[in-house]
Amino acid sequence: MVREVISLSCGQAGVQLTNTIWAQYSAEHGISASGLAQAEDILGSCETFFSNTSTNRYVPRSLSVDLEAGAIDDLKNGLYGNMFNSDFLINSAEDAANNFARGYYTVGREILELVMEKCRQLVEYSKAPKVFC
């Protein structure tokens, strides 16, 4: 049975790290920047980190969230941007302006329900048994 990993990244640092991590996962599993298998899966099943679509493309099982649009736009416009499902790249219309209270109580709260819904969808799309602690 294949274990499936769901990656969640929040904030600018998390989204920037996501960009680098998925480039490494793609190289390790022989997946091109567009999500197509270009070589034999080197480390076994790439379905640990990727979901295979009906068009035989591999899409990262990942959710990236940032209040500022810049970090998400960098991910979308990067080399591996076409690989990601844009439904799971979430940003707000405005950022928190380096103010924790604003990000936690106002601007962040506005997208919290959407983020939780997308997390639920990722878990449902996954074939692994569900274990919650």
pLDDT (tens digit per residue) in 75-85: 999 999 999 99
Nearest C-alpha neighbor of 51 from the set 5, 109, 13: 5
What pLDDT, on the 0 to 100 scale, is given for residue 59?
93
Q: Please state, as a whole number, how many other Cβ atoms lie within 10 Å of the Cβ of residue 44.
A: 10
C-alpha angle 32/37/39, rounded to 5°?
Answer: 95
pLDDT (tens digit per residue) in 73-132: 999 999 999 999 999 999 998 888 888 888 889 999 999 999 999 999 999 888 655 555
Q: Which domains does the chain have, with CATH numbers?
A: 7-125 (3.40.50.1440)
Tokens of residue 8, six digits: 């969640």
